[in-house]
Amino acid sequence: MLPTRPPRPRAARALSVAIVCGVTVLAVQAAWAQPFEVVGVRALGMGGAFVAVADDATANYWNPAGLANVFFSAVVDVQRSETRLGPDPLSREGTRDGVTFASLASPSTALSYYRVRSFQVARRGPEMPASLAALVTQHAGLTLVQPFLPGVTLGTVLKVVRGTVAVGLGDGLSSAGDLFAEASALEGPATTRFDLDVGLMLNLGRARFGLVGRNLREPEFASEDGQVVVLARQLRAGFMIRPNSSLTLAVDTDLSTRQTIIGPRRAVAVGAEQQVGRLVVRAGGRVNIEDERHEPVGAVGLSLEVTTGLWVDAQFSGGRDEGDQGWGVSTRVGF
């Protein structure tokens, strides 16, 4: 028997690169979860403690049952956020999310539309290509609100979700910004699914308790090569108290864990909002209790009432890691 010839180093390297990249892309897809904290300047200015507050048109996202406390509200909201990338610039992972949100709401019905553009980057070293993935979802929703018992309200959002999934490879030596730009240019097939969000609000006078479930049908979307992405179900609870008419204190906690490319995430958030005339200031923070380091993300926000019922809002959030940061601006009408 002739001796087996060992593979050429270059061919072996190419084979290993292909295998690692394939495994990485699969891992990216399996770990996908669009974050909860991507909509609402007021909500994110309070660190993401908003499930029991939810008293403007962003309640269509945060807790549809909160619309029972709205006479009329309209919001146009733009957000951008970025998760942790890690300390090593040549071997790190991260996500970037951008959102456009628009909503009209009354106490019993509402309409909403939002587009979430999520990009993921995974790098294994300078000699390996970076794995890129993109998930773009468009949500069009009809919200119905129904009193259930005295002080208890149920809200349901019936949604049509159109999702596009794409994957690719980038230069492992490129900057994170360049890789995110490459991921945003990826193209893939679009799939339409039906989904459901449900919220519950318990009114206790100066206090409220809220509970929301999002993506309850867990819609699935497929890339061009057949890899399936599931938009994960999210469960969250919140409590809010107003010691006086101008001060709001709130706390939220995730009841479900999201599996992401940078590890499991389950947040606890606290926030406060104080109104002084035509100015509202807010602050808050959240922490991923699944992370052993428990590094908090802080947030600040500001709103100005330009004229009666017309508000302009802004918020900024950030943590110690270069990627845990975000900003948002919105225009809001409410009575």
**Rounded Cα distance, 224 and 299, in Å:** 38
Helix, coil or strand: residue 133:
strand
**Rounded Cα distance, 156 and 198, in Å:** 5
Contact in structure between 92 and 86 (CB atoms under 8 Å)? yes
pLDDT in tens, the chain (335 residues): 333 334 444 444 443 434 344 444 444 444 466 788 999 999 999 999 999 999 999 999 999 999 998 999 999 999 999 887 766 666 677 889 999 999 999 999 999 999 999 998 888 776 788 889 999 999 999 999 999 889 999 999 999 999 999 999 998 888 888 889 999 999 999 999 999 999 999 999 999 999 999 999 999 998 888 888 899 899 999 999 999 999 999 999 999 988 877 778 899 999 999 999 999 999 999 999 988 777 789 999 999 999 999 999 999 999 876 667 899 999 999 87
Question: Would you say the pTM of this structure is higher than 0.85?
Answer: yes
Contacts of 7 (CB under 8 A, 6+ apart): 15
CATH 1.10.760.10 for domain 9-334? no
Domain positions in the chain: 9-334
CA distances from residue 145 to 7, 202, 212, 220 in whole angstroms, order as listed: 66, 13, 13, 27
**Rounded Cα distance, 241 and 327, in Å:** 26
Handedness of CA 251, 254, 258, 263 (dihedral sign): positive
